[in-house]
Structure 1
């Protein structure tokens, strides 16, 4: 009998759940086939959930707990918490972002959410009308949890095109900006993250923030377009092509990777280190 496939709980949300499901199953001395028979699911589906290939549905989690004991629902709720706290219109994008092999984004105004520090995110969310302090803290925690995709075992390739103006916009004050720019410098060292600064001036991307997620199999692309109301999340092929061309045009006007990091470093020292909080 071949050895069971090695699982990596740090590879993602579904992988963490799958590893725990396997641990509980083996603790009970059950095979995948036996567990599948007892809960009414196929052996292949149990296997797919354990390796993180399939998302566990509610009925499967409930039936597994009936056989294996409690804990799976609590785990799934905890590792999925940030998604459940997101607005309904944003959840389709979170699903694409989480499964993506590659992400490309352009931000003309602020640092993108995946690279924001806690203090920077809090300062931004406090500006949103209608949010009380508890809602702000909940959303900050959700944003930070979302960033875990960049530190998992096999993170997506992440290209960030950031307008120079975002480095000067005083979000939260000098201390917050120093910390945020230092964080950008740090994350830019990761081999899977490419950060490029786009100098001030006319740009095809001034209409708003955009992002593109490429699926794990490379066959599907999903676009996220920022608007004043609810952003647009779509896989429309014509729109994907248009947005891809726009991203390419913005990148052509951006500084190279190394020059961008030095640009951020210089701005951090000259603008935000010399200013009082």
Structure 2
């Protein structure tokens, strides 16, 4: 029998749950098939959750709790704290984000959430004029918690295509913008993060932000699209194909990485050189 696959509980939320499930199953002296039988699932489904390939559903968690005893549901909830603070419609996307091996983002207006500073995120949410202070605080905490995927042991490759105008848009004032641009420059030092600035002008992405999450097994790609109402999250092949063509066209017109870093630095100088 091959040795159990080594797990990194810090790799993702699903991996943390999988490691805990394996620990509890081993302590109960059950095989994956035996646990699956008691929980109402196959042994292969149990195995997929244990190695972090599949996030547990509420039904799966309930079945495992019946088989292994209480505590599993609470453990999953403890990993989900920041999700409770995020809008309900955003939860499915957070799952895709956490399980992705690569993420490509196009942002025509603002810095994407995974790279926002606390002050910048707070200023954006205040500008929407529909949240109270407590709601803003909860949403900021949720946004910052999402950023942990970029600092985990095995982070996704992250490509950001960012419209030039977003660097000059005064969100929160000069100090906030300077801090935010420093954050972008800091992010580019990580080998898995690439930021490319898209110069002002017409391009296929002016209708809104686009994000594509590529699953680790390369069998599923999920798209997040900004709309006038609630954003859309879909894995429909035709949508993924259309969006991929758009992103390729946008990137073709972007500055290379080094030129983008230089450009961000020049805009930062403008934010720090005088009144804005």
Is the pair's TM-score, using the shorter chain for normalization, greater than 0.5?
Answer: yes
Q: Secondary structure at the match of 1:11?
A: coil
Quote how far apart the aligned CAs of 1:248 are.
Answer: 1.8
RMSD: 2.4
Report the counterpart of residue 190 of structure 2 in structure 1.
Answer: 190
Report the counterpart of residue 135 of structure 1 in structure 2.
Answer: 135
8 Å contact from structure 2 (residues 109, 165) kept in 1: yes
Quote how far apart the aligned CAs of 1:80 are.
Answer: 2.1
Aligned mates of 1:222, 1:129 — CA distance in 2: 30
The reply to whether residue 274 of structure 1 matches residue 273 of structure 2 is yes
8 Å contact from structure 2 (residues 86, 138) kept in 1: no
Aligned mates of 2:157, 2:67 — CA distance in 1: 39
Report the counterpart of residue 152 of structure 1 in structure 2.
Answer: 152
Aligned mates of 2:241, 2:36 — CA distance in 1: 43
Quote how far apart the aligned CAs of 1:67 are.
Answer: 5.5
The reply to whether residue 119 of structure 1 matches residue 119 of structure 2 is yes
Aligned mates of 1:132, 1:25 — CA distance in 2: 44
Which shows bigger deviation, 169-178 or 159-168? 169-178
Which shows bigger deviation, 135-144 or 227-236? 227-236
Aligned mates of 1:247, 1:30 — CA distance in 2: 47
1:222/1:72 Cα in 2 relative to 1: closer, same or farther (>3 Å)?
Answer: same
Which shows bigger deviation, 202-211 or 183-192? 202-211
Report the counterpart of residue 11 of structure 1 in structure 2.
Answer: 11
Report the counterpart of residue 167 of structure 2 in structure 1.
Answer: 167
Aligned mates of 1:19, 1:103 — CA distance in 2: 25
Aligned mates of 2:62, 2:252 — CA distance in 1: 51
Quote how far apart the aligned CAs of 1:39 are.
Answer: 4.1
Aligned mates of 1:236, 1:69 — CA distance in 2: 38
Q: Secondary structure at the match of 1:9?
A: coil
Report the counterpart of residue 226 of structure 1 in structure 2.
Answer: 226
Matched pairs, number = 276
Aligned mates of 1:93, 1:67 — CA distance in 2: 30
1:108/1:37 Cα in 2 relative to 1: closer, same or farther (>3 Å)?
Answer: closer
Q: Secondary structure at the match of 1:263?
A: helix
Q: Which blocks of at least 5 consecutive residues in structure 2 are unaligned?
A: none
8 Å contact from structure 2 (residues 163, 198) kept in 1: yes
Aligned mates of 1:208, 1:265 — CA distance in 2: 25
The reply to whether residue 214 of structure 1 matches residue 217 of structure 2 is no
Quote how far apart the aligned CAs of 1:34 are.
Answer: 4.8
Q: Deviations over 1:177-220 (max 9, x none)?
A: 12111111111122221100112233332222112222323233
Quote how far apart the aligned CAs of 1:150 are.
Answer: 1.8
Report the counterpart of residue 242 of structure 1 in structure 2.
Answer: 242
Q: Deviations over 1:91-147 (max 9, x none)?
A: 332232222232211111100111111111111111223211111111111111222
Report the counterpart of residue 103 of structure 2 in structure 1.
Answer: 103
Matches within 5 A, 1:40-55: 40-55=40-55
1:14/1:276 Cα in 2 relative to 1: closer, same or farther (>3 Å)?
Answer: same
Aligned mates of 2:205, 2:66 — CA distance in 1: 52
Aligned mates of 1:154, 1:211 — CA distance in 2: 20
Q: Which blocks of at least 5 consecutive residues in structure 1 are unaligned?
A: none
Aligned mates of 1:169, 1:207 — CA distance in 2: 18
Provide TM-score, normalisation by structure 2. 0.89
Q: Secondary structure at the match of 1:101?
A: strand
Q: Deviations over 1:146-170 (max 9, x none)?
A: 2222222322221111111111111
